[in-house]
Amino acid sequence: MDRTPLDDDVAAAGLVPYPAAFAARYRAAGLWSGQTLPAELVAAAETHAEQTALITPEGSWTYRRLLDAARQFAAGLPEKTSLRPGDAVMFQMGNVAETVVAYLGCLLAGMRPVCTLPQHGVREISVLARHVGARGLILQADFGRGHLPDNARSLLADGIVEDVVVARGAAFASAVGYDEVFARGAGAAPQALPYHRCGPQQVAVFQLSGGTTGLPKVAPRLHVEYAYNSRAWAGKLDWNPGTVVLYPLPIMHNAGVSLALQPALLSGATLVLAPSADSGTLLELIEATRPQVMPLVPPAVAIRLLEDPRSKDADLSCLKDFIIGGQKLAPEIAERLRDELGISVRQKFGMAEGMFLLTPAEASEQVRHHTVGEPLSPADEIRILIPGAEDEVPDGDVGELCVRGPYTIRGYYRAPQHNLHAFTADGFYRTGDLARRHVIDGLTCYSIEGRIKDVINRGVEKIHADEVEDLMMRHPAVSNAALVAMPDPVLGERGCAYVVLEPGSQPLTVRTLGAFLLDQGLAKYKLPERVELTADLPLTNVGKVSKKALREDIESKLLRDVPPPRS
Ligand code: AMP
C-alpha cells in the first residue's frame, strides 16, 4: 500500500509533540480518550441518532441524517478527486449545512480540514495552502458576491491546489460538484472509511493564528486534544440532548469548531447556525429555536442587540448561558444587558492555540463582569510571566499570560524558529496577551489587561499589523507605513494606517489604498479604515516605529473629531 501522510511520524510532519510524561498524565486523568476525533463524533452521532443535530435556514438535520451524509461525502471524496487520507483540505465555506457535512466528511475520510475562511483572499489561501501542503479546496459558490469560484480558478491555474469541490453552485471545468461527490459515495460501507487509521496524536485539523506574510502561524490541532477540548467545554456547560446552542460567527473559525460545532455534536445537543450576527437575525432565531446557550457573543454583537429596539419586546428568557468573549468586555455593557434585557453575562477567553477560560455561572458579578474566569480544564496551567522572560511577575501584577495544558498546542506547524520565542523552555505558550491573577471569593481567576502582540482585534476578527504593513509597503507611493488600532465604540478596535508617501506621490485615501490591498489578495476585513498621511513615523529609543505614540496620536485625533455636546 502507498505510504500516506497518515504514516508520517511526528517530527517529519513538522509537529512539536506533547512530551510523553504529559501525554501519559492526560490519559491517566481520563482527559484524553485515546480515540480519534472522528471516532468520538461518530460514536456520539450513533448514540443520539434521532435527536436534532443541526438547524440552518434550509432546515433541520437529525444526527442519523448528518452522519449518513458525512459518510457519503467521505466515501465520494477520494473517488471524485485525487485527495487521499492525510491530505489537508482548505475550506472557504460559510454557515451552511454543507460546511458541517464537508468538515465531518473530511475527518471521516482521514483528511485534515484547514480552517480558512471564505473572507480570505487568493494570496492568503495560497500562502496557507503552501505552508500546510494542502492540495484540495472546498468552497461555497454562493458566498458573498459569488467570487469564490473565480478565486479557485486562479488557484488551480497557478497550481496552488489540484482539486476543488464546489458547494451550492455549478461546478466549473476542472472542479467537481459537492453533489457529485455526495452521489458517488452513496452505498459505501462505513467500516471502510479511513479515519480508523488515524493516530490519536496526529493532526486532525489545522487552525489559523497569525497573518499570512512571512511564516504563517498555523495551530495543528491533534485528534486526542481537540476532541478533549470540545468534550470539556460541553461538560463544563452541562450540554445534553436537550440543549440548543445558537452560534452567530463563522463556524469554521476555531471558536466555531471548538465552542459550538464539536461540543454540540459530542453531547447530542442541537446546533443552530445563524447565517449572520445581525441583531434582527439573532432575535428571530432566539424566538424560533429557544436556545439556552450562545457560547460566544462578541461585545459588538451584544451592543447591537442592546441598541435594537426590538430586543426589549423579545422573549430572551431562554438564554441561560450568554457568553461574551473574543474581546475585552466593558463592564457597563454587562450591566446594561442585565438591566435592559435581563441577561446574566458570563465571559470567556480563548484562542486557536488552545486554552479557554470561563467565568462560572454562579460566580459573583465582580467575577463575571470584570474577569474571564478560570481555566476550562483541571490540568490547565497558567503562569503570568515578565514579557520576554521566564520569571513570574509578583502575584497580582500584570504580565504575559502563558499557558500549558491538555489542549494547548506545543508548537506551531513547521515553524521551528518561531516556536523558540512563542513557547517557554518548558512548553508554556506565550499568548502575547497581558493578564492579572485575582482571588475573588476564594476563586482564582484572571483578567485580560491588554496585549503585547501587534494585533488589531476588530470585533473579534484579528488583523496582524505586519501582514497589512508588508502589503502597504508594496505600493509604489508608500515610503513607510504602520498599522495601529484605533478605538471604536462598537467593534472595539479598527485599523488605522499611518503612511509616509514617496516624494511627489499622489496622496492615498482609504479607498485607493484599500483597492490596492484588495488587489494584493488581502481579506476585506483587514483593510485600514482610516489613513493618516505623515512626514515620518515616530521611533522608540531603540529605533523601532513607536506604535504606542501612533495609538496615542489617533486617540487624540478621534477625541478632537467628536463634535462637542449641544448645549
Ligand atoms: P483567536 O485565536 O482568533 O481566537 O484569537 C485569540 C485572541 O483573542 C487572544 O489571544 C486575545 O488576544 C483575544 N481574546 C480572546 N478572548 C478575549 C477576551 N475575553 N478578552 C480579551 N481578549 C480576548
List phi, psi (to 5°) of 24: -65, -40
pLDDT band at 562 (very low <50, low <70, confident <90, very high): confident
Domain end point (choices 167, 186, 221): 221
Q: Tell whether 475 and 443 lie within a shared domain.
A: no
Q: Is 493 in the pocket of ligand 1 (CB under 6 A)?
A: no
State whether 479 and 397 are in the same domain. Answer: no
121 with 205, same domain: the answer is yes
pLDDT at position 288, please?
Answer: 97
pLDDT of residue 487: 96
Ligand 1 atom nearest the C-alpha of 348 is: 19
Domain boundary among 179, 194, 221: 221
In a domain, 479, yes or no: yes
pLDDT score at 2: 44
Whether residue 101 has its Cβ less than 6 Å from ligand 1: no
pLDDT of residue 14: 81
Q: Lowest-pLDDT range, 50-59, 209-218, 240-249, 388-397?
A: 209-218
Query: Residue 238 falls within a domain, yes or no?
Result: no
For residue 76, give the CATH number of its domain.
3.40.50.980
325 touches ligand 1 (CB under 6 Å): yes
Instruction: Based on the fold, state whether residues 442 and 472 are members of the same structural domain.
Output: no
Instruction: Looking at 146-297, list the stretches that DSSP marks H as alpha helix, in order from N- to C-terminal side.
Output: 148-157, 178-184, 223-236, 254-255, 262-267, 279-289
Taking 60 as the threshold, does the pLDDT of residue 503 lie above it? Answer: yes
Asked if residue 495 belongs to a domain, the reply is yes
Residue 511: inside a domain: yes
The average pLDDT across 246-261 equals: 97
Q: Is the CB of 296 under 6 A from ligand 1?
A: no
Q: Supply the CATH number for residue 387's domain.
A: 2.30.38.10
Q: How does pLDDT run across 163-181, given as a tens digit for each residue?
A: 999 999 999 999 999 999 9
Q: What is the pTM of this model?
A: 0.94
Region 190-199 average pLDDT: 89
Could you report the per-residue pLDDT of 342-383, keeping only the tens digit for each?
A: 999 999 999 999 999 999 999 999 999 999 999 999 999 999
CATH code of 503's domain: 3.30.300.30
Query: Which residue's CA lies nearest to atom 8 of ligand 1?
Result: 326
User: What does pLDDT average to over the chain?
Assistant: 95
* Tally of CB atoms within 10 A around 23: 17
With a 6 A CB cut-off, is 326 part of the ligand 1 pocket?
yes
Q: What is the DSSP letter of 343?
A: P
* Domain final residue, candidates 410, 437, 453: 453
**Predicted local confidence at residue 372, as pLDDT:** 98
Burial track 293-303 (b if 16+ CB lie within 10 A, e otherwise): bbbbbbbbbbb
Average pLDDT for 146-159: 97
Our answer on whether the CB atom of 153 is closer than 6 Å to any ligand 1 atom is: no
The best mutation among 301, 460, 493 to test binding of ligand 1, ranked by most ligand atoms within 8 Å of the C-beta, falls on: 460
The pLDDT tens digits for 419-453 are 999 999 999 999 999 999 999 999 999 999 999 99
CA of 460 from ligand 1 middle (Å) equals: 7
pLDDT over 70 at 333, yes or no: yes
Clarify whether residues 139 and 199 are in a common domain: yes
φ and ψ at 447, to 5 degrees? -120, 150
- Residue 552 maps to a domain: yes
Residues 222 and 229 sit within 8 Å (Cβ to Cβ):
no
Q: Are residues 524 and 493 in the same domain?
A: yes
Percent of the residues in the chain that have a pLDDT greater than 70, as a whole number? 96
Cβ neighbours, 10 Å, residue 215 = 16
Cα gap 27→10, rounded to integer Å? 19
Instruction: Looking at the structure, tell me whether residues 183 and 210 fall in a common domain.
Output: yes
Distance CA 532, CA 371 (A): 35
Statement: residue 326 has pLDDT above 50: yes
- Summarised one tens digit per residue, pLDDT across range 281-293 is 999 999 999 999 9
pLDDT at 6 over 80: no
| Ligand 1 geometric centre to CA of 349 (Å) | 6
Ligand 1 centroid distance, CA of 487 (Å)? 16
Q: Are residues 195 and 165 in the same domain?
A: yes
pLDDT of residue 3: 45
Q: Cα 436–441–443 angle (5° rounding)?
A: 55
Q: Is the minimum distance from the CB of 254 to ligand 1 under 6 angstroms?
A: yes
Q: Are residues 69 and 210 in the same domain?
A: yes
Q: CB-based contacts of 489: which residues, under 8 Å, 6+ apart? A: 303
177 and 122 together in one domain: yes
Cell numbers linked to 536: 515620518
Q: Do residue 442 and residue 527 come from a single domain? A: no
Q: Is residue 297 part of a domain?
A: no
Q: How confident is the model at residue 219 (pLDDT cuts 50, 70, 90)?
A: very high
Q: Report the domain count for the chain.
A: 3
Q: Is 328 in the pocket of ligand 1 (CB under 6 A)?
A: yes
For the chain, give the percent of residues with pLDDT over 90: 92
Shared domain check, 211 and 194 = yes
> Could you tell me the three cell numbers for 321?
448561558
C-alpha 131/C-alpha 345 separation (Å) is 39
User: What is the mean pLDDT of the segment spanning 394-418?
Assistant: 96
pLDDT one-digit tens code per residue, 47-72: 999 999 999 999 999 999 999 999 99
303 domain-assigned: no
Question: Is residue 350 in contact with ligand 1, taking CB distance under 6 Å?
Answer: yes
Print the domain residue range for 498. Answer: 458-561
454 lines ligand 1 (CB under 6 A): no
Judged against a pLDDT cut of 50, whether residue 306 lies above it is answered with yes
- Could you identify the residue written with the cell 492555540? 353
Kindly state whether residue 335 falls inside one of the protein's structural domains.
Answer: no
